Amino acid sequence: MGRGWVYRSNTHANENCYIRANRDRFRTRVTNSAGAMKRSRTELESVSARTLEHYDERADAFWEGTRAHDVSQNIAALLDAIEGEAPFTILDLGCGPGRDLKTFRELGHVAVGLEGSARFAAMARSFSGCEVWQQDFLAMHLPAGAFDGVFANASLFHVPMQELPRVLEELHAALRSGGVLFSSNPHGEDTEGWSRGRFGAYLRLDTWRRYVSGAGFVELGHYYRPPGLPRAQQPWLATVWRKASASHGRDHGA
């Protein structure tokens, strides 16, 4: 187990443990959206490289800690929102070692993973039997209009705020018209920075809404996790979005 990693159980309590520990450690470099300096291309490459190196080095411990993690609520939120006949084609963005890819596949869907860590990508291919593209969130090459759904479980918070509009627009373009984006991120007070080797952005609901709707999505709903706890003990914000059809405003083609 890496010294910085505490996301290690399938219990909701440990979801909280994960985010509390991150917030407690989130002291090294914190900026807010108003005061943030624009990062250069080189700095952005370093954000990805250092974060992915962190995951790569802890790949086995991460897998042991998260393989039984219950995210059925999130998977159902995505699949229930997709209109049309199953099976669906799903992009699992930041698929990690492949837990959810396997679930989508077992449910009869066509799931493709996108993952920046070489070790996770290999583990995910082996565990799920799905195709996994090793790509950086900040330099993606995605087919246009190819997916019915994008499942971004605990992954988009690794994208620096300044790059979020572009990354979200790329996901929008990769969805078919009417396709659905699911995202779950730890929420916060619009801060971003380094926490022991991993970069994270922690946004308010309103801020997150501005980013995602600005990329051409319409909100279908949101909820906090884990379910059934007071808000103060729900660090995860799950949101579900539809790519509006061309007749309903902005559409990036696809």
DSSP letter at 77 equals: H
* CB-CB contact of 151 with 122 (8 Å): no
Q: Which of 75, 77, 78, 94 binds ligand SAM (CB under 6 A)?
A: 94
Contact with ligand SAM (CB under 6 A) among 48, 128, 183, 207: 48
Residue 165 C-beta: closest distance to ligand SAM, Å = 16
Q: Which amino acid is at 108?
A: G
Would you count residue 98 as binding ligand SAM (CB under 6 A)? no
Q: Which is closer to ligand SAM, CB of 66 or CB of 191?
A: 66
Alpha carbon distance 54, 196 (integer Å): 9
41: tokens are 């291309």
The residues in 176-235 that bind ligand SAM, with binding defined as CB under 6 A, are none
In the chain, the DSSP E strands lie at 29-32, 89-93, 110-115, 131-134, 147-153, 175-186, 191-195, 198-202, 217-225, 236-243
The site for ligand SAM, by CB under 6 A, has a size of: 20
Of 145, 140, 155, 147, give the one whose Cα is nearest residue 52: 155
Query: Which CB atom, from 117 or from 207, has the smaller least distance to ligand SAM?
Result: 117
Window 144-173: residues binding ligand SAM (CB under 6 A): 153-155, 158
Binding mask 120-149 for ligand SAM (x = CB under 6 A): x---------------xxx-----------
- Considering only residues 52 to 71 of the shown chain, the ones binding ligand SAM according to CB under 6 A are 52, 55, 66
Applying CB under 6 A, does 237 fall inside the site for ligand SAM? no
Select from 16, 82, 104, 116 the one that contacts ligand SAM (CB under 6 A). 116
The distance of Cα 102 from the centroid of its chain, to the nearest Å, equals: 17
State the nearest-atom distance from the C-beta of 184 to ligand SAM, in Å: 8
Backbone CA torsion sign across 117, 171, 104, 208: positive
Stretch that binds ligand SAM, among 27-35, 38-46, 90-98, 242-250 (CB under 6 A): 90-98
185/191 with CB nearer ligand SAM: 185
Name the residue with the smallest CB distance to ligand SAM: 116
For the purposes of burial, counting CB atoms within 10 Å of the CB of 146, is it exposed (0-12), middle (13-18) or buried (19 or more)? middle
What kind and span of H or E run contains 51?
helix 41-57
Instruction: For the beta carbon of residue 27, count every other beta carbon within 10 angstroms.
Output: 10
Binding stretches for ligand SAM (CB under 6 A): 48, 51-52, 55, 66, 94-96, 99, 115-117, 120, 136-138, 153-155, 158
